[in-house]
Structure 1
Amino acid sequence: MISFYLCDQNKEKMIRCFVFIIYFLSVVLPLSAQPKYEIRAIWLTTLNGMDWPQAKAIDAAGVRKQQNELCRILDKLQSAHFNTVLLQTRIRGDVLYPSDIETFAEILTGHAGKDPGYDPLAFAIEECHKRGMEIHAWMVTVPIGNDQQVESAGKKSLVRKRRDLCKHYRGTWYLDPGNPSTQEYLSKLVCELVGKYDIDGVHLDYIRYPERASSFPDKDTFKKYGRGMPFTAWRRNNITTIVRRLYQDVKALKPWVKVSSSPIGKYRDTRRYTSRGWNALHTVYQEAQQWLKEGIQDALFPMMYFKENDFYPFALDWKEHKNNRWIVPGLGVYFLSPSEQDWPLDEIVRQVNFIREIGLDGQAYFRNRFVLDNTKQIWDELTENTYAYPALIPPMTWIDRIAPDAPTHPSVKRTKEGHLMLSWNPSIDNSNQPVTYHLYGSDTYPVDIRNPKNLITTYLPTNHYPYKPSQPWLLKRYLCVTAADRFGNESVPLELNKASEDDLPILNDGDQVTLPHVKDVRYIRIATPTGHEVLRIDYANSFNIQQLHEGFYWVYLIDKEGRERLVGTILK
């Protein structure tokens, strides 16, 4: 890890130096070691069904098809060790769930406001949690829709129901951030969502003024509510007031629910690097770094869809203003597409490496389809290298830092199929909320839970697990389990099995094994920890294991009477 300690006086000079150094390192060095704690998020876009859904829920078959589409997406994300799904839940004044405030989104059925016959958000939450992934409700806050979208919604549109909150600008309708009733409206919407659903986060998108906002028609609002403030300060305060209110509302209901937003990727110009006229603070009135300083966001996902000097210096700027909250840069993987900017894959790989090197908290990818379609082999890169092992979401220690009690009373039983059924007594958390469990395994004792390579599965919702690796030789000899609360605090581990005298490792060079001389032995038997025999040979002091796959094995000796005893283990 390369750390940065930048005082205000020397900050720009040091940034110029470090940008070059770390950019160089990110190019020439292999990808940084994968951390145990890392947010791995993806934006799952429902606007126009860009990521999901494609099928229309017009009947029972359509519902099943729509649900199966989502399950296939989530299966792939789970297999790539993503841990956070940002599901677009409020699209343009319409939503993916039955609401007393806003109407069903047209994309679900092809008709604005039509009930799809099931609750898509509840279904998505259940399926994400089954797979050990968090789901955050991605809420597009200020835009309500273009003229066509509003017309399609008809009487059910927000423009028709609450015209007093809406402004029309350049062919699109927006909520008016300066109208105090806008804050109240969004508060009711978010409280309804958080109160009804077991979501893990609320993700505020487009919590800002629109592009080219200088002519946004809110002069009348300023005249009424400006209270003598400078116009630009008033606009920034309007957005911050909404952010503050929504954060406080969510925490009052469920303090473990994460509240985040996706500001513009460049906060402001630096002395050395310009934002080229597109930044959060001055262009769209998002004082997002102030939100972190005030503690009214748990995380920011800045949309850093840039490269080279438009990316690295601004990532450092976010790093220097974390204020002990999370910064998760959004990466523009859609630019890998030849129909977009045809970036090389190395551009994204370098950015991930840089993010890890400077100690930011993860990555988010815009958007899902470009990852799952393996654009420029991004899927292969993630599954084979970048995300080769699972990762946990960091603990939200600024809200709660008390770990739950460790699980107790371990049980390991072998099934008829030769798999292991693991179980333990449930853990207790001080917040009286359910806990989840992380399972670790290793061929060395004791299991090191600091090493992400040892994570077998994460965020188990139950206190039992059928352990059946895809191949017998992948089964780990030693297992332990920890409990995690809703804030991410992790208990000390419970060992599910312990080392014994028979676990003495037998040395080998990968080809040849040497045993001490033992009398009256007829056979040597090699088996996986599940008991699957992979080799049986006549006894000899030395024997060849080249034909074995890499993995962990038990070594048994069988005497002339057919009696068998375990004498040690082999790690090839």
Structure 2
Amino acid sequence: MAHPSAPSPAARPAIDRRGFITLATAGVAGSALSVTIGSMTPADATPLTRSAASSGTTSRKRELRAMWIASVVNIDWPSRTGLRADELKAEYLHWLDVATEFRLNAVFVQVRPTADAFWPSPYEPWSQYLTGTQGGDPGFDPLAFMVAETHARNLELHAWYNPYRVSMQTDPTRLVPDHPARRHPDWVWAYGGKLYFDPGLPEAREHIYAAILHSVEHYDLDGVHFDDYFYPYPVAGQELPDAATYAEHGAGFDDIDAWRRNNVDEFVRQISLRIKDLKPWVKFGISPFGIWRNASTDPRGSDTGGSQSYDNQFADTRRWVLEGWLDYINPQIYWQFGLAVADYLKLVPWWADVAARSGTHLYIGEALYKVTSGVFTDPAEMSNHLTYCAEVTAQGTPVHGNVWYSAKHVPMDVNGAMTRVLADHYAHPALIPAMPHLPATDVREPVLTPLHRADDGVEVRWVDAAPHRRRATSFAIYRASGRRRRVDVDDATHLVATVRSSGRGLQEFTDTTAVPGERYTYVVTALDRVWNESGPSRARTL
């Protein structure tokens, strides 16, 4: 992931001062790859490839549509340090406007980029990416503001945390005096120009759990999200400085790699359990590097030839899915159709097959930044990705949605890539796929009142007549042309909008897309907080 994450296969990441990925390649072969990657053409087409590469459109009633909003080194938001509170708020509202304009239904926002916080945490200091000074109070609670404004637009908010990263530099004295890394210097080591909590220390892991769970407990989050940073990506000529920790805590493991992998496994398992103990409805998902292992290394792996998260970050991402520790997996498949070392056409079905075995939802991480940088030269590449994901889903191994990296590349719309996605796939709103294993609320069909025509559209009003404990979190409005006795709510083209509940009995929405003089029939359904849907209301025609 270039936030910053996910180096191209056979390369290691380096971060420039803006936070973008540069490729520090390990030899001539890696360098050649970085030069030619943008000009490679797809391999021979399979039946799926031929269809996906054509200009196809899909309307899916249920799919996650999200974008990452990165805060580390001020990649997306805040755009720079030192903004006033009103400027910070205005910038965040701009990103919500972008999400709404492109009919997204979720945002993944980085709230703990480097053992710091975008909320008043008792465990870690205010993030330096807010004010420019670590520990500097921004003058309001950004996370509380994010929750309120994101939910007002009926978008999900997944709070994004980097578990082990402490600092983007190696000098502990540049951290605030009461930083946990300064109070417990034995918890931390330097590697690759950064500081990290040692994943092998149980006490360091306990601190990370507490820091993350504080926000889960005190804020109305929809999800907890990690990206691909576990043990750091390998740096040529450097060894991870954890030999002493292994000597103390590694008894019973065949080698240090197995011990490291177990450390990450235990971290993922434990945080999953603790999130569900606090709030069973909060989703937990991880966005790993797109390759678990290559089939040449492990026959269970994918038909690829790039870096392997199992070996390089000690992240056994396949196991996490199969064990059911995650609600969703969001692999960063940041490559194009036909790229030999990491082919999108091969990786998506590989992940879909793995996820389907446990019922874990699968979202695909999309490298929109590679359109901006010129790596993806086909303006239809992004749209074709979504067509292909729909075809994989139709084969019985669901792809439940896509996540775009990163926010600032969405409105840039280089080569019209996102406009094409909007026209081909996001022409209508979509509900987030429900997860059957999450606790549901038995919401009741709303009572739709008579419709009214206003200057700006059709006024739709309804009553949530359910008892308080069964009240809906939001509602979906459906519309069909002409007078009808019913509206097919399974037809994605009938979905007009979703709106957050006002918290009162009477709800209202104005359909500004209604054509004056046209006759329409409407129904409304109720949705609980994890997107389970009631039956439709009685139809009304105007």
Q: The TM-score by the shorter chain falls in which range?
A: 0.7 to 0.9
My pick for the range that moved more, 374-383 or 485-494, is 374-383
- The match for 2:480 is 442
- The match for 1:320 is 353
Residue pairs, 1:48-447, within 5 angstroms = 48-54=73-79, 56=81, 62-147=84-169, 151-212=173-234, 215-231=239-255, 232-271=257-296, 275-307=304-336, 308-309=338-339, 310=342, 311-322=344-355, 323-338=358-373, 341-359=375-393, 360-400=399-439, 403-408=442-447, 410-412=448-450, 414=452, 417=455, 419-426=457-464, 428=466, 435-444=473-482, 445=484, 446-447=486-487
TM superposition shift of 1:147: 1.9
How far apart in 2 are the matches of 1:474 and 1:361? Answer: 37
* Aligned counterpart in structure 1 of residue 47 of structure 2, from 21, 27, 34: 21
The higher relative CO (CA closer than 8 Å, separation ≥ 6) is in 2
In structure 2, relative to structure 1, the CA distance for the partners of 1:470 and 1:372 (3 Å cut) is same
How far apart in 2 are the matches of 1:297 and 1:396? Answer: 11
CA RMSD of aligned residues (A): 2.5
How far apart in 1 are the matches of 2:517 and 2:200? Answer: 59
TM superposition shift of 1:282: 2.0
In structure 2, relative to structure 1, the CA distance for the partners of 1:429 and 1:244 (3 Å cut) is farther
**Do 1:403 and 1:429's aligned partners in 2 also have CA atoms closer than 8 Å?**
no
TM superposition shift of 1:342: 5.0
**Do 1:56 and 1:66's aligned partners in 2 also have CA atoms closer than 8 Å?**
no
**Do 2:226 and 2:287's aligned partners in 1 also have CA atoms closer than 8 Å?**
yes
Secondary structure (helix, strand or coil) at the match of 1:264 reads coil
My pick for the range that moved more, 142-151 or 106-115, is 142-151
- The match for 2:536 is 493
Secondary structure (helix, strand or coil) at the match of 2:110 reads strand
Q: Deviations over 1:531-566 (max 9, x none)?
A: xxxxxxxxxxxxxxxxxxxxxxxxxxxxxxxxxxxx
How far apart in 2 are the matches of 1:356 and 1:411? Answer: 36
In structure 2, relative to structure 1, the CA distance for the partners of 1:429 and 1:199 (3 Å cut) is farther
In structure 2, relative to structure 1, the CA distance for the partners of 1:430 and 1:356 (3 Å cut) is farther
TM superposition shift of 1:90: 0.6
How far apart in 2 are the matches of 1:341 and 1:327? Answer: 25
The amino acid of 1:230's aligned partner reads: D
Q: Deviations over 1:192-250 (max 9, x none)?
A: 01111111100012452111278211111111111211222221111111111111111
In structure 2, relative to structure 1, the CA distance for the partners of 1:468 and 1:387 (3 Å cut) is closer
TM superposition shift of 1:475: 6.6
TM superposition shift of 1:460: 2.3
In structure 2, relative to structure 1, the CA distance for the partners of 1:235 and 1:368 (3 Å cut) is same
Secondary structure (helix, strand or coil) at the match of 1:327 reads strand
**Do 1:298 and 1:325's aligned partners in 2 also have CA atoms closer than 8 Å?**
yes
Same amino acid, percent of matched pairs: 25
1:34 to 2:63 alignment: no
Q: Deviations over 1:282-327 (max 9, x none)?
A: 2211111211211110001111111224122121211111121111
My pick for the range that moved more, 79-88 or 49-58, is 49-58
How far apart in 2 are the matches of 1:54 and 1:156? Answer: 27
TM superposition shift of 1:405: 2.1
Q: Can you give the 5+ residue segments of structure 1 that lack an aligned partner in the other structure? A: 1-16, 499-528, 530-572
**Do 1:412 and 1:421's aligned partners in 2 also have CA atoms closer than 8 Å?**
no
The amino acid of 1:330's aligned partner reads: G
Q: Deviations over 1:387-411 (max 9, x none)?
A: 1111111111022466422223x32
How far apart in 2 are the matches of 1:204 and 1:26? Answer: 30
How far apart in 2 are the matches of 1:369 and 1:354? Answer: 25
What's the TM-score, normalizing by structure 1? 0.78
The amino acid of 1:99's aligned partner reads: S
In structure 2, relative to structure 1, the CA distance for the partners of 1:31 and 1:401 (3 Å cut) is farther
**Do 1:177 and 1:183's aligned partners in 2 also have CA atoms closer than 8 Å?**
yes
How far apart in 2 are the matches of 1:150 and 1:343? Answer: 43
**Do 1:128 and 1:134's aligned partners in 2 also have CA atoms closer than 8 Å?**
yes
In structure 2, relative to structure 1, the CA distance for the partners of 1:234 and 1:87 (3 Å cut) is same
Residue pairs, 1:468-487, within 5 angstroms = 468-470=511-513, 472-473=515-516, 477-487=520-530
**Do 1:183 and 1:245's aligned partners in 2 also have CA atoms closer than 8 Å?**
no
The amino acid of 1:336's aligned partner reads: V
Secondary structure (helix, strand or coil) at the match of 1:168 reads strand
**Do 2:443 and 2:471's aligned partners in 1 also have CA atoms closer than 8 Å?**
no
In structure 2, relative to structure 1, the CA distance for the partners of 1:467 and 1:179 (3 Å cut) is same
The amino acid of 1:343's aligned partner reads: T
**Do 2:475 and 2:498's aligned partners in 1 also have CA atoms closer than 8 Å?**
yes
Q: Deviations over 1:372-399 (max 9, x none)?
A: 1112212311332221111111111022
In structure 2, relative to structure 1, the CA distance for the partners of 1:493 and 1:196 (3 Å cut) is same
How far apart in 1 are the matches of 2:158 and 2:463? Answer: 29
How far apart in 1 are the matches of 2:261 and 2:232? Answer: 13
- The match for 2:509 is 466
How far apart in 2 are the matches of 1:33 and 1:245? Answer: 38
Which one has the largest radius of gyration?
A: 1
The amino acid of 2:99's aligned partner reads: L
How far apart in 2 are the matches of 1:402 and 1:416? Answer: 34
The amino acid of 2:512's aligned partner reads: P
In structure 2, relative to structure 1, the CA distance for the partners of 1:492 and 1:175 (3 Å cut) is same
**Do 1:190 and 1:250's aligned partners in 2 also have CA atoms closer than 8 Å?**
no
The amino acid of 1:345's aligned partner reads: P
**Do 2:81 and 2:128's aligned partners in 1 also have CA atoms closer than 8 Å?**
no
- The match for 2:33 is none
How far apart in 2 are the matches of 1:439 and 1:337? Answer: 35
- The match for 1:541 is none
TM superposition shift of 1:77: 1.1
The amino acid of 2:223's aligned partner reads: G
How far apart in 1 are the matches of 2:72 and 2:140? Answer: 19
TM superposition shift of 1:56: 4.8
